[in-house]
Structures are given as C-alpha cells and as structure tokens.
Amino acid sequence: MSTHITFNPDEMLQIVAPDGSCHESLDPDLDATALRRLYRGMLLTRTVDIRGMILQRQGRIGFYVPSTGEEASQVGSAFALGPSDWIVAAYREPGAAYLRGLSVESFFHQTAGSGKDLLKGRQMPSHFGAKSANFVPASSPVGTQIPIATGVAWAAKIRKDPMVTLVYFGDGSTSQGDFHTGLNFAGVYRVPIVFFCKNNQWAISCPFAKQTASGCVAVKALSYGFEGVRVDGNDILAVYVATKRAVDNARAGEGPTLIESFTYRVGPHSTSDDPRRYRDDAEVARWREKDPILRYRNYLERKGLWSAEDQESLQAELDQEVDDAIESALASPPPDMETLFTDVYEIPTWNLREQLEQAMQKVGQ
C-alpha cells in the first residue's frame, strides 16, 4: 500500500466499486487470510444484527441498536489498529468490538444484562465494551466520548506510550460542543488520535443537511490544524487504507486525523425508533443497493477468493455461533445483588458494607 496518498476533503476515497472492480493502484494488497477475515467480520455483524432485532421484537431483550449498512466502516477501521491501540466507542460499532476480540457471547450477555455481563448489568443494552479488547464502553449522551478519547490520547503522549486512540461518533455528534472541544485540543497538542465520524446521514430524525452549512464533515478538520479525509464508508478497503494511514501518522507523532466515513443507517436508530416517520422508502432502497457486504463479496469473487460454497459454509458457522451465544445469555441468571456495591472502592467502606448487608436481608439472602 502506498504511504504517499494525498487526500482532499472535498473528494471521496473509493477503492472498490459496487460491482467489485478495484482501483488497482490503491489496493492495499492484503493477503487472502486478512481479506477473508474482513469479510467474516462484516457478515458476523450483519448476522448478529438480524437476530438482535428479532429478539427485541419478540420481547426477549429490552432494547437493541442496529448497525446494518455500516459494517464496512466499523470493521475496516478497526482492522487498521495495532494490538495495544484503544477504541473509544459510540454505540453502533459491534463489528469493531468483535474484531478486537469481544465474543458474540459476551455481546449478548451484555445485551441481556445477565450475570455473565462483563459490565455487570450497569449499562444499557448494546452499550458493550471490554478492557481485554481495549474497547471503552459507549455512553448514550451524544458526543461525550470525543473529549474523553482526546484525553486518553493526550495521556499516551505524556507517557510516551506509542498507542493510538480511535474514537467513533456519528454525524449528529458534530453538532455538539464536545466535538469542537475535543478536536481543538487534539489539534493544539498534536495528540495521537483518529477521529472517525460515521456520517450515516441521520442524527436520529435530523438529516445531515440540517446540521451544518459545511459541504462535508472532513473539511472541519482544517479549522483545527490537521488533515480531514472523506472516504466511501461502504468500501471496506478504502476505509482500511484511510484509517491505516491516519493511525500510522498518529503513531509517528504527526498528530490527529478526522475521517468522515460516508455511509448510511439502513435500519432504525434503535428499536425505539420508527424511521418511516421521517424518511421515505425510496431513499433506503437506493442505499440498500450499495450494500457494503455485497460489494466486498463481489471483490473477493473477482479475485477468486470466494464462492457460493464458501458463503453457505460461513453463514452456517456464524448462525450456529450466534445461536449458541443467545442460548447462553438468555439462560443465565441476572447479576448477583453484591455487584450493586462492588467497584466503587477497592476496599469497600463501612457504609457500603452496611448497605450491602441491608440489601441482602431485604431479598432474603
């Protein structure tokens, strides 16, 4: 892969066309194992999404946040990171979490709020994370993760730690003050961070055109003194190339990059949302034709790396993985009462011990 690509925020980087044809000079030339891993990550994300939506509609879980249509943006960007790098998430990046090592079983335990939930039932469903995956759990308030991620990167620079921080957020976050605070600080102090905006066109029901007079998000980086990149967010190789370059630059001490990944939220904002009230079916249909998974599958087939048999085999494998994860999560009891009082202090204070004792007496334990 060339390291001398020059990006223009007014242009959009694309490597793989919808029919699977490729801009050969920009192809990152990943090996077959890596290319297949990218495809598996996207298909796993879509498979979990389908089942998650069904589970919520059946009343078996309370809430779910889908990410259908955004799989390439998640998986391609996370694939560009090194093992010691950190992700500070929004709540629509499960594909990035799986790629970093979060198991599907852990994801469903969190969504169900079971006793095996790594977060002990303290977060909303679909607000996952894991220290072992260097993946900070999401928080629902829009954009608040941006200055936090900037602080993580600033701390790494102070410690001379070579890690890079990647922070995800949607186009709605660019209308928040936290976006400007985080980017301004990062630009001034040249911290090792990649700001990754998944511009999926809708901040719940607010279209992107009503959020800014700028032509795109990427151009905003110029105000803060660093590079902005606009990429076709449904092209996983373009996302990977743009993010890898940004990560390498950050690690080399060249400061932050803002990436705008131009994609689309095909489903609702969450299972509490009805997108039919604010957008028409024709718009959704146009974007379904740009499906990132189908595009990448076309690319793999052109290279002789994928077949109908491969597809059938992988889908069966993922279906079984998801089935097993759901069965485990829904069969698990809720977190123990004691977890209400743990993780506040390393050594519990007298009043916490007293409150725990009273709570246990109330529930008869």
Spot the catalytic one: 269, 295, 296, 299: 269
CA 116 to mean position of chain CA atoms: 22
Q: Which one from 46, 51, 109, 265 is the annotated catalytic residue?
A: 265
Tell me if residue 40 is catalytic: no
Query: Other CB atoms closer than 10 Å to residue 346's CB: what's the count?
Result: 5
Q: How far is CA 87 from the centre of its chain?
A: 9
Q: Where are the alpha helices (DSSP H) in the chain?
A: 32-57, 71-78, 94-100, 104-112, 145-159, 177-189, 236-251, 281-288, 292-302, 308-331, 350-362
Q: In whole angstroms, what is the distance from residue 222 CA to residue 145 CA?
A: 21
279 is catalytic: no
Consecutive H or E run containing 230: strand 227-232
Catalytic-role residue among 57, 60, 276, 278:
278
Whole-angstrom distance, CA of residue 126 vs CA of residue 110? 7
Is 98 one of the catalytic residues? Answer: no
Decide the pairing of beta strands 165-170 and 86-88: parallel
Task: State how far the Cα of 173 lies from the Cα of 212, in Å rounded to an integer.
Answer: 11
Catalytically annotated residues: 265, 269, 278
